[in-house]
Each structure stands twice: as structure tokens, then as C-alpha cells.
Amino acid sequence: MTATQVPSRPKPAQGLSRRTIWLLVVVLLAVVIGALGQIIKVPYAIFSPGPAQDTLGKSDKQDIIAITGTQTYPTSGRLDFTTVSLYGGPNYPVSVWQWLRAKTDKNSEIFPEEQVFPKGKTGKQVEQENTAEMVGSQEAAEVVAVRAAGKKVAETVTVGAVSKGKPADGLLRVGDRIDQINGKPATTLDTIHGAMDAVKVGQTVQVTVTRAGKSQTIAVGTVKNDDGQAIMGISLAPKYVFPFGVKVNAGDVGGPSAGLMFSLAIYDKLTPGPITGGKEFAGTGTIDTDGVVGPIGGIRQKMVGAHNDGADIFLAPQDNCNEVKGHVPDGLTVVKIGTFAEARTAVEKIGKGQASGLPSCG
């Protein structure tokens, strides 16, 4: 007999192994969880260290502090303003993953969202407020620094707003320039506040204003505010005229917290001899036109940012000292500051190697 070859039956197709199926399930779940972690938002705000920037340097090829029309002087060293990377609010809502990362980052802080971003405000409103605060901070820094350098800054004060239902409602108008109160010159914030400090609640104030180019005196009553002081029910809008050009180019940074460092940089450029002595300083703090330094948010993150950028000295507002204690990065010296004059003195002394005896937050 002739041998014949019987074809073998084809093997049934092998299915996926149980292990492979489980791996695919795990991968799929990881993808889904990862996507959900990015999509799902949580009602928190996160403060993380941001970059520091030298106010004596440049941003986008422009001098951060640009002064024209007067003599300026060479500077050295650095006067860094510090920032916070802020996540949360209507513009940048926090994802689950961002929240989890912040929970494991010792340099980040998490706050309930409404503690940082008031409810009901849109992203555009928040952005506009931050921009307005930065512009106001820059102007205050310019006023303080230019006056400290011995230059005159002319000032007038107008009515910025009138509160509905208050004594000034219907009498004073937005844009009225205030010239006198009770017959005495009152053309600056200081003189107006001083004049109103002498007024008792319920008394009538004779307010001389310039409106549409004409001077007139208007009798305005007063009521008590929350602090028990006499008020007419207006907010004041000061206007300043500088003897030369001063411009701050801060980029897209918002908020008022760089005011102190801007003022130091402007002063340094307007006066002979670098106040830093070639050393690197960083700091933060709001500033008003009287030179008073105010507290800011994110002080701990700003100290970390300053340290990461190589600063040795950090200027901190005195009202932030309770947040500074126990959180100063190794190698960073913190100096407590209450006014522009104190900050200038501290920088000059440290620049000359005379750092002992300066106040700290310890």
C-alpha cells in the first residue's frame, strides 16, 4: 500500500491570556483615571514658588525700570521681586492631579478657593483687578522713590467715586478736583486726611472744588464710618505729575506685591552709587505713597523662589512675620521691613557689610 499523508487539523486560534486581559484592563483604567484626574476640578487654590526677577535688569529686552529725561546712575547686584505661581479660580481651576501633587509638595500650600477668589467674580474681573493693583503699585513705588531721591512730584486729588445715599451724593461729582476743606488748602491725600481728622461726626464740611474749570465751594454733611470717623461718602483718586519719565515694565505679573522692590530699584537708578554693594537681594511687599510697606500673600513660596534664584537676603513685610517663622530656607537671611526708608537703610547697610543689628522676623 502506498502511504498517504493525512492533513493535520488546524489548531484553534489561541485567545488572549488571562494575564494579558488583566494588563489591558489595568492600562485602560489608568488612562480613564488619568483623564478624569485632569478633567475633574476641585474648589481649591494652590500657591507654589514662582520665579524671581531682577528689577535692575531687563524683561523681553526692555529695562524693567526705564527712566528718561533725567540723569541716572549705574547699578550693580540684584533687587529681585518674587512671585507666586497661583492655580485656581475661574481662569485656572485646579484639577485633581494638581491637588494631589500639591499635597505631596512641601513648598506648596492649598487653600479653599473662596478664601483667595471671591465668589461671583469672573475670570476677566479677577484679571482686571490684578492689573489695576499692579498699576497702582507701580505708581506708588514711583512716587515714593522719586521723592526719596529729592525730586518733587506734583499731586492733585479728585473725587474718584461717590457712595449712594451718603452726604456727598448729589453734591460732589466724580472728577471734581479738591482744592480746600474748610478754607484750608487740601490738595494732597495727606492734607485731605488731616483736614477730615479734625471734623467731628455730623459736622458740615465746606469743600472747595474745581469742576469744569470753575471753582466752587459746596457744603457737605458727614456721617460716621465703621471706625467712628467722620466721612462725606467719597473715595479719593490722586493724580501725580512727575518731573521726568518713569516706567515700570513688569510683563504679565499682576497684583501689588512688587511695589517695595520697584521703589528700591527706581531710587537706586536715580541716586549715585549702587545701594546693593553688588550683593543680591530679593523681597516682596506692597507700598503706598507714604512709603508704608504692607503684607502680601504667598510669603513662604516667595522665600523659596528667592532662595532658588540665589538670593542671600530677603526683605519681608513686618506684618508677614508670623508666616515667616519656621519656614525660612537654609542660607536665606530675612530682614523685617515696615517702610521704604527701613528697606533702603537695610540694603545700604548690608551692601557695606554692616548687616548686624537689623531687625528680623525671628
Question: How many CB atoms are closer than 10 A to CB 250?
Answer: 19
- How far is residue 267's CA from residue 191's CA, in Å, rounded to a whole number? 25
What one-character-per-residue DSSP string does 22-44 give? Answer: HHHHHHHHHHHHHHHHHH-EESE
Do 169 and 199 meet the contact criterion of CB atoms below 8 Å apart?
no
- How far is residue 118's CA from residue 89's CA, in Å, rounded to a whole number? 9
Measure Cα distances from 108 to 48, 49, 305 in Å: 5, 7, 11
From 269, 279, 302, 336, the catalytic residue: 302
Q: Is 48 a catalytic residue?
A: no
Nearest to 254 by CA among 296, 213, 220, 222: 296
Q: What are phi and psi of 86, to 5 degrees?
A: -110, 125
- How far is residue 359's CA from residue 330's CA, in Å, rounded to a whole number? 18
* Residue 238 C-beta-side C-alpha neighbours within 13 Å: 21
Do 323 and 295 meet the contact criterion of CB atoms below 8 Å apart?
no
**DSSP class of 320:** G
- How far is residue 224's CA from residue 287's CA, in Å, rounded to a whole number? 28
Do 143 and 153 meet the contact criterion of CB atoms below 8 Å apart?
yes
- Collapsing DSSP to helix, strand or coil, 80 comes out as strand
- How far is residue 271's CA from residue 67's CA, in Å, rounded to a whole number? 12
Instruction: Please report which helix (H) or strand (E) contains residue 143, including its range.
Output: helix 123-148
From 48, 257, 269, 336, the catalytic residue: 257
Do 360 and 336 meet the contact criterion of CB atoms below 8 Å apart?
yes
Q: Is 215 a catalytic residue?
A: no
Residue 3, burial from CB neighbour count under 10 angstroms (0-12, 13-18, 19+) = exposed
The catalytic residue positions are 257, 302
